[in-house]
């Protein structure tokens, strides 16, 4: 796996190419960010064998959102496809022209749209017009897009050319496209979007023409190496923890249209972690508290009844191997996995939440070949979302549908880097008392003496809110546990013998 990581890293180092004014991609690996909050960063990475080409991304997530709003009854006779491509739809550039293609096409007559070209030698306000077919929203109809060089932005250090767009019907009348019911008519309106290209810094703004005419506006965010730490693997970013890092999760599943629910809450506290260089694995010790509730929703009273079914405590050792996460560990996240094709789903990166994410609404897209994705008609109502936040050492997911919520998500995090959310502090004592046996320990001055008739494996001390204060192996407590360091107050000692837990409340 390390070889894979280093090979991909080598592919984003600078190439020696001839510099030119208004070159679209003067840098070899950058991120663009859309106008939609907390969205995936789209990479632009030059092909190492041909610097005028940029590498493909996994089109499934964006295409699934665009296509979901257009499930026409006649789609089976008017089958729609997409060419896998880079998200920008960029195909080529010359000294004075940029070319972009929509990836969506049909198999009927004139199934392909015309290439959209931006002429960099145009005079200000000069226009070009290109025809296109909207195979998703209006199959069989012809439309046009007018491209206008509308402004020249000059600064002390740079010059920026801006191009705008106007959709027109077959009679060349201005119009806004039918957006379907899934797309925001403001965020996906290409009539309000622009391409900006800088004399010295390349493309600064661009719609995602691969999904034209249902585009989002993207803006250059920066070089990949300035946004992500490339000195460590994504595996390390996600799974490396510090002692005391604490996570509270909520898992909710529903049946019968959301009428019956099953709620599992988990509290995990890292008590120790080592990295095995030989096995290339993180070996992490956790204290794990779980509570399960089952309830019914009453539609008449708009309320739920629920009851705790059980609560448990375990001390677990979790081993996570680097080689099990090849699909996650692509150097520049592009939605593909390790094989760089649709046989392995990977992840995109979200800078705002520092997470690796794959989000596809209801899976109705199928790769027919290396150069064709088929869009099939299915019923609406679901999504496939999974994500790894950096430093949480866990995968979360959300498969909520119209029939009810189904997810696993973090609700509280407390690490050396961040603290947010609402902890399960109110339920913590219930969990302790229902999942561990109460046991008396002897206190002599400021030392807790464990009973000698039980072979304890380890001990930990929590405050009354459930925060881990210290973790002790049995070998470290042969003369007892020193509590002189703690301020006056109430605490809980939890001991574990390898099979069950014991708790002891004490006052300092």
pLDDT tens column, 203-235: 999 999 999 999 999 999 999 999 999 899 999
Mean pLDDT within 85-112 = 84
Contacts of 425 by beta carbon, 8 Å cutoff, 6+ apart: 465, 466
227 sits in which H/E element? helix 224-227
CA distance between the termini of the chain = 50
Which residue has tokens 């950058």?
A: 30
Report the C-alpha gap between 155 and 157 in whole angstroms. Answer: 5
405 pLDDT band (50/70/90 cuts)?
confident
How far is 196 from 150, CA to CA, in rounded Å?
Answer: 10
Tokens, residue 430:
């219930």
Q: Look up the pTM and report it.
A: 0.83
Q: Distance between CA 32 and CA 205 in Å, rounded? A: 8
Find where tokens 């973790």 sit: 471
Q: Do 349 and 336 meet the contact criterion of CB atoms below 8 Å apart?
A: no
């007892």: which residue's tokens? 480
**Residue 157 exposed, middle or buried by CB count within 10 Å (0-12, 13-18, 19+):** exposed
- Which pLDDT band, with edges at 50, 70 and 90, does 429 fall under? very low
The whole-number average pLDDT for the span 81-107 is 88
The DSSP secondary-structure symbol of 394 reads: S
pLDDT digits (tens, 9 = 90+) for 268-299: 999 999 999 999 999 999 989 888 877 776 65
For the domain made up of 436-507, give the CATH fold. Answer: Immunoglobulin-like (2.60.40)
SS (H, E, C) 270-318: EEEEEEECCCCEEEEEEEEEEEEEEEEEECCCCEEEEEEEEEEEEEEEE
pLDDT tens, residue by residue, 344-371? 889 999 999 999 999 988 767 888 887 8
3-state secondary structure 5-31: HHHHHHCCCCCCCCCCCCCCCCCCEEE
Q: What is the rounded distance in angstroms from the CA atom of residue 287 to the CA atom of residue 243? A: 11
pLDDT category of residue 197 using cuts at 50, 70 and 90: very high
How high is the pLDDT of residue 247?
A: 95
Note whether 202 and 26 are within 8 A (CB): yes
Which sequence spans correspond to the domains of the chain?
Answer: 42-227, 234-421, 436-507
Q: Is the predicted pLDDT of residue 481 greater than 80, yes or no?
A: yes
pLDDT at 170 over 80: yes
* Separation CA 331–CA 329 (nearest Å): 6
Neighbours of 8 (CB within 10 A): 16
Q: Would you state the pLDDT for residue 498?
A: 80
* Phi, psi angles (nearest 5°) of residue 5: -65, -45
Q: Is the pLDDT of residue 378 over 50?
A: yes
At residue 417, the 3 state secondary structure works out as coil
d(CA 209, CA 181) in angstroms, rounded, equals 20
Cα Rg of the chain, angstroms = 28
**Whole-number pLDDT of residue 220:** 97
How many Å apart are CA 43 and CA 56, to the nearest integer?
9
Number of residues written out for the chain: 508
């Amino acid at each position: 796996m390390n070889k894979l990581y280093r090979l991909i890293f080598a592919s984003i180092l600078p190439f020696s190419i001839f510099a030119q004014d208004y070159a679209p991609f003067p840098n070899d690996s950058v991120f663009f960010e859309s106008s939609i909050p907390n969205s995936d960063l789209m990479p632009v990475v030059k092909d190492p064998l041909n610097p005028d080409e940029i590498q493909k991304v996994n089109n499934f997530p964006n295409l699934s959102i665009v296509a979901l709003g257009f499930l026409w009854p006649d789609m089976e006779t008017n089958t729609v496809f997409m060419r896998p491509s880079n998200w920008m739809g960029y195909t080529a550039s010359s000294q004075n022209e940029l070319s972009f293609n929509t990836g969506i096409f049909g198999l009927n007559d004139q199934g392909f749209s015309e290439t959209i070209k931006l002429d960099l030698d145009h005079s200000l306000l000069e226009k070009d017009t290109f025809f296109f077919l909207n195979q998703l929203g209006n199959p069989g109809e012809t439309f046009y897009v007018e491209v206008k060089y509308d402004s020249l932005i000059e600064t002390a250090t740079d010059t920026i050319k801006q191009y705008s767009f106007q959709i027109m019907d077959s009679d060349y009348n201005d119009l806004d496209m039918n957006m379907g019911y899934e797309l925001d008519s403001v965020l996906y309106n290409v009539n309000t979007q622009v391409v900006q290209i800088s004399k010295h810094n390349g493309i600064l703004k661009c719609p995602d023409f691969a999904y034209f005419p249902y585009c989002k506006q993207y803006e250059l965010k920066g070089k990949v190496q300035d946004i992500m730490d490339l000195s460590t693997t994504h595996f390390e970013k996600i799974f490396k923890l510090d002692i005391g890092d604490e996570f509270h999760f909520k898992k909710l599943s529903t049946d019968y249209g959301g009428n019956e629910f099953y709620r599992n809450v988990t509290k995990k506290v890292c008590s120790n972690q080592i990295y095995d260089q030989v096995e290339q694995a993180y070996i992490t010790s956790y204290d794990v508290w779980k509570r399960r509730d089952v309830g019914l929703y009453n539609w008449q009273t708009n309320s739920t009844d629920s009851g705790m079914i059980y609560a448990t405590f375990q001390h677990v050792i979790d081993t996570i191997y680097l080689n099990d996460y090849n699909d996650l560990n692509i150097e520049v996240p592009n939605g593909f996995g390790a094989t760089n094709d649709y046989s392995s789903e990977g992840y995109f990166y979200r800078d705002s939440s520092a997470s690796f994410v794959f989000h596809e609404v209801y899976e109705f897209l199928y790769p027919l070949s290396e150069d064709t994705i088929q869009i099939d008609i299915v019923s609406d109502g679901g999504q496939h979302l999974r994500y790894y936040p950096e430093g949480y050492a866990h995968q979360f997911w959300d498969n909520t549908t119209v029939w009810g919520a189904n997810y696993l998500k973090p609700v509280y995090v407390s690490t050396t880097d961040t603290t947010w959310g609402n902890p399960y502090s109110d339920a913590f004592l219930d969990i302790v008392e229902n999942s561990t046996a109460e046991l008396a320990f002897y206190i002599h001055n400021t030392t807790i003496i464990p009973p000698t008739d039980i072979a304890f494996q380890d001990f930990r001390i929590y405050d009354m809110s459930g925060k881990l204060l210290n973790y002790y192996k049995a070998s470290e407590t042969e003369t007892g546990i020193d509590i002189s360091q703690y301020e006056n107050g109430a605490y809980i000692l939890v001991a574990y013998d390898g099979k069950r837990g014991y708790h002891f409340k004490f006052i300092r």
